Amino acid sequence: MHHPDELWQEFANNGESKNRGFAREYFDDPAKVCATSHVWLWRKTTGGGVEVLIQLRAADKRNWPSHWDISAAGHINLGETPTDAAVRETAEEIDIKLDPKKLYYIFMHRSFNGRCEEFANVFLYKLTGKNEFKFNDGEVAKLKWVSPDELSRMRDENRKEKLVPHPDYYFDQLFAHLKEITEGK
């Protein structure tokens, strides 16, 4: 949940923290560089396959309302690391407490999101056992488990499926790393 006094960490073009923050209303400033953490939760199926959890963004979200997206994601606040933000956002959005030592960092993606430059730190995290999800902050409408093949199909049929349009290389890296860690390579 967004707090009015929450400041997003500002970064330099080389990815280093400027050790200062800016308020959410300055997100539309193309001179600002911010960062996010993306957490893709995954699990083994009873048949030995793999599934990833995707969320349906709430209908009132400013960006990509009612679109399927990453399990949990959000901006890095002033003073946080990408790992801190990953843990916080997952707890805020779907009420799952992550062990930061079990986060698996896979890559950083840089993009211009139409309003400002953004570094996205992408993580995988394996869930085991039964997990109960709660939508704490109103950002998530629902969740569903999909296979990497289903997620790939959703990407390819984006207009029909309403998937947030990350670049193909983003998904290619996600699928490659997911395959690598699930097959133990």
Residue 175 in any domain: the answer is yes
Name the 3-class secondary structure at 111: strand
Which has the higher per-residue pLDDT, 20 or 180? 180
Residue 1 in any domain: the answer is no
Q: Which helix (H) or strand (E) holds 68?
A: strand 68-69
Residue 158 in any domain: the answer is yes
Contact yes or no for 70/54 (Cβ under 8 A): yes
Report the CATH number at residue 100.
3.90.79.10
Q: How many domains does the chain have?
A: 1
Does residue 54 surpass a pLDDT of 90?
yes
Print the domain residue range for 106. 7-182
Determine how β-strand 33-44 pairs with β-strand 117-126.
parallel
pLDDT at site 19 = 85
pLDDT in tens, 56-83: 999 999 888 999 999 999 989 999 999 9
Residue 2 in any domain: the answer is no
Residue 3 confidence class, pLDDT cut points 50, 70, 90: low
Residue 164 in any domain: the answer is yes
Q: Which helix (H) or strand (E) holds 167?
A: none
Distance of CA 41 to the CA centre of its chain: 10
Q: What is the pTM for the complete model shown?
A: 0.90
Residue 96 in any domain: the answer is yes
Name the 3-class secondary structure at 180: helix
